Structure 1
Amino acid sequence: MSLPLYQQISDDLKQKIVTKTFKSGDQLPTEKELSETYSVSRITAKRALTELEQLGLVSRTRGKGTFVQELNKNHTKLLKRVLFIIPFEGMSFGDFTQGLVPALKVENTTVFITYESYLKENTADDIKENFDGLIYYPMYTEDYLDILLELSLQNFPVVLLDKQIYDLGFPCVSSDNFNGGEQAAQALLNLGHKRIAFVASNDTHHPQTTRNRYLGYVKVLKEQGIKFHTTLDDSLYTESSVLELIHNEKVTGLICENDLVALQTMKTLQDSHFSVPNDISIIGFDDIQAASLSNPPLTTIAQDFIGMGRIAGELLLDWIKSGQTPKDVKVPINLIKRKTTEELK
């Protein structure tokens, strides 16, 4: 997160005060102890405590320390708490939080980030008791439907990121992946390619993002009267299948499910003495860091993760304040032209 260190410390302490880890009358750690715990300067630790004092959450007495005050209704209103659940530890969601955290900070809302296991270990009542709203990035839309349905029936504000879960009525903020497939296909058509294949991972389950990208690709080819296109079933990624597809169908352009598949495909082609982009042009999705560092750098469709996080936070706050369920939002995507696409000769 791109918050100043003192704000990160202050938010952490606010969370502990609201959840009564620190109770009324408890003494908080000293500036020296906080500086050691959070590996910051004493000046930073002091500023964090000063912010808590300005909010009326603590009182500070020279020579004695910093003590937690009794929470009142104003504090409860001030300290809104939002739970942000991501699939699992180790996944990078920094860009989402760069948009989400500042959007919530405007309303003095603290974000608690955790993983999907939280939904297994807690109940809907636990979430309602401790949080004012939930932003959920599902890995698979079939998971945790029981607790999500209960939250839906209780009209608890939940905003989804990236994937819709149908029938629950939760609004979703997602990239316009359908248009991403359209843009990728059109970019290759503009370069003169006619034999364009869609390459997906060999997972048996394709998420909504992949299906929408694929459908956008098919739509453009159909509109241009191009009969050739692959299906998700026959374009699953293996080294042999990609090489066989290119050889049998005379493919000159590849649209890959995501950048990881694109980079893996490019390595397979290069190992088999194909030149990218002279022989085969490749487009990926997501604009991960490795995309710009590959050789050659990968043309890709970039998602606005910061914008998605910001919009999700704004929608959730509006829902909490108004009680009105917001509508789905599709966030525009952007073609990043690099060196893996070239005009067909």
Structure 2
Amino acid sequence: MDKKEKRTPLYSQVRDYVRDQIQQGKWKEGHRLPSETQLSRQFDVSRITIRSALTQLVDEGIIYRIQGRGSFVTMNEQSGEPVRYQKAEEELQLIAFMIPRVEGRFTTSLLTGVDNELAHSKYRIMLLRTNDSQEAEEQLLHEAVRSGVKGIIVYPADGQTYNETMLRLSMDRFPIIVIDRYLRGVDTNCVCSDHFAGAYAATEHLLKLSHREIAFISTSFTGTTSLEERLEGYKQALADHGVAFDRRRVLDCAEPEAIRRFLSEQSGLTALFAANDGVGLASIRAAEAIGKSVPEQLSVVFFDDYDHAEDAKIPPTCVAQQGVEIGRQSAQRLLSLLERPNQERIRIRVPAQLIVRRSTAPPG
């Protein structure tokens, strides 16, 4: 075991320091602890880390908190002051699960996977929705820590490239898992689909059908690593099959009018790969609006499946993510970190599956 493995998490150092001061009699019953700001300066850590340590001591019944006054050493029963917030050892504890929204097959399956894995543990989900807002995400991270959650699983907001709070939590070895995509510059544990391989398989499917003029359509992918990897998978498949990448075949705007205009201008286009189901379905509608039939004149394949897709007027060929498995593995990894916080951070990629239906065919 190397020195990195032996390092004690920062919040544990703070917790142990406070506990030692009390056990050694330096801080007596009713003694008010130093403020969060003072402890933060003393240990050179964030206030989030201090709150996490103090919350654990509250859970153990060693200290109690009074809103607006601070934290105090718990009084014993003989002194006439009951122990506050003391919890039984087996009492259920909370894990924050932050997600942009709870709708559609993928996000609901993520929730199912996490919940199934935690069902037989002492942890339960506190669900927090960010509505794809980076500001809401930042605020909810702070609220989750203040509420005393033991760990966090977060599905980052679109376009998120960096998050100071996540970075501090990760540096302090607070148990946190990022799902669906990773954030550059923030070294955290991550569980996500193999976006590159899934996009490669989708593009290769079109190439094997003899398509050569293949577009890539997405929402803005700058800063969202999952979308960037899907673009790279598309480009690599083209290269491996001897087809030159043409930047003019890429559209990073999913507005219906922009897609219609793009398809009208790309007269030689015979197929497209869309980065998600929303863009894929919008592309099918745009093609129909300009008189291009799918798949006879335009083959369409996209990332993500959706409920009852096989019953659609044109059942779509798509790349299905294993949401339940991603949720299960993220919860499993978090439970492991709760037992041993100093483990090496890892990135777990879960395979995606190409499902061939009727929206793709050889060129007409």
Same fold, TM-score > 0.5, yes or no? yes
Of residues 313, 321, 335, the one that matches 2:331 is: 313
Asked if residue 101 in structure 1 is aligned to residue 115 in structure 2, the reply is yes
Asked if residue 242 in structure 1 is aligned to residue 262 in structure 2, the reply is yes
1:298, 1:316 → 2: CA distance?
Answer: 35
Q: Deviations over 1:181-223 (max 9, x none)?
A: 110111011111111111123x474622221111111101111
Deviates more, 1:156-165 or 1:84-93: 84-93
Asked if residue 84 in structure 1 is aligned to residue 103 in structure 2, the reply is no
Of residues 194, 200, 217, the one that matches 1:182 is: 200
Moved over 6 A (4+): 89-92
CA offset at residue 232 of structure 1? 7.6
2:334, 2:158 → 1: CA distance?
Answer: 22
1:276, 1:174 → 2: CA distance?
Answer: 31
Counterpart in the other structure of 1:215: 232
CA offset at residue 231 of structure 1? 5.5
CA offset at residue 144 of structure 1? 7.7
Counterpart in the other structure of 2:17: none
1:314, 1:277 → 2: CA distance?
Answer: 41
CA offset at residue 152 of structure 1? 2.0
Of residues 327, 330, 333, the one that matches 2:346 is: 327
Counterpart in the other structure of 1:115: 129
What TM-score comes out, normalization by structure 2 length?
0.68
Flag structure 1 segments of 5+ consecutive residues without an equivalent. 1-17, 21-68
Contact 2:271-2:300 at 8 Å conserved across structures: yes
Counterpart in the other structure of 1:339: 358
Flag structure 2 segments of 5+ consecutive residues without an equivalent. 1-55, 59-84, 131-135
Contact 2:90-2:122 at 8 Å conserved across structures: no
1:75, 1:148 → 2: CA distance?
Answer: 29
Letter in structure 1 aligned against 2:127 = I
- Structure 1 residues 229 and 294: CA distance shift in structure 2, 3 A: farther
Of residues 154, 157, 160, the one that matches 2:178 is: 160
1:153, 1:254 → 2: CA distance?
Answer: 42
Of residues 192, 200, 211, the one that matches 2:210 is: 192
CA offset at residue 118 of structure 1? 6.3
Contact 1:100-1:309 at 8 Å conserved across structures: yes
1:143, 1:215 → 2: CA distance?
Answer: 18
Q: How large is the RMSD of aligned CA atoms in angstroms? A: 2.8
Contact 2:215-2:272 at 8 Å conserved across structures: yes
Could you say what secondary structure the match of 1:81 adopts? strand
CA offset at residue 235 of structure 1? 5.5
Percentage of pairs with the same residue: 25
1:342, 1:294 → 2: CA distance?
Answer: 17
- Structure 1 residues 133 and 257: CA distance shift in structure 2, 3 A: same
- Structure 1 residues 96 and 344: CA distance shift in structure 2, 3 A: same
- Structure 1 residues 210 and 121: CA distance shift in structure 2, 3 A: closer
2:357, 2:153 → 1: CA distance?
Answer: 34
Q: Deviations over 1:279-304 (max 9, x none)?
A: 11100111022643432111111000
Letter in structure 2 aligned against 1:131 = V
What TM-score comes out, normalization by structure 1 length?
0.71
Superposition map of 1:10-159 within 5 A: 71-72=87-88, 74-75=89-90, 79-88=92-101, 93-116=107-130, 117=136, 119-120=138-139, 123=142, 127=145, 130-140=148-158, 142=160, 145-159=163-177
Across the two proteins, how many residue pairs are aligned to each other? 273
Deviates more, 1:149-158 or 1:95-104: 149-158
CA offset at residue 94 of structure 1? 1.6
2:149, 2:201 → 1: CA distance?
Answer: 40
Could you say what secondary structure the match of 1:313 adopts? helix
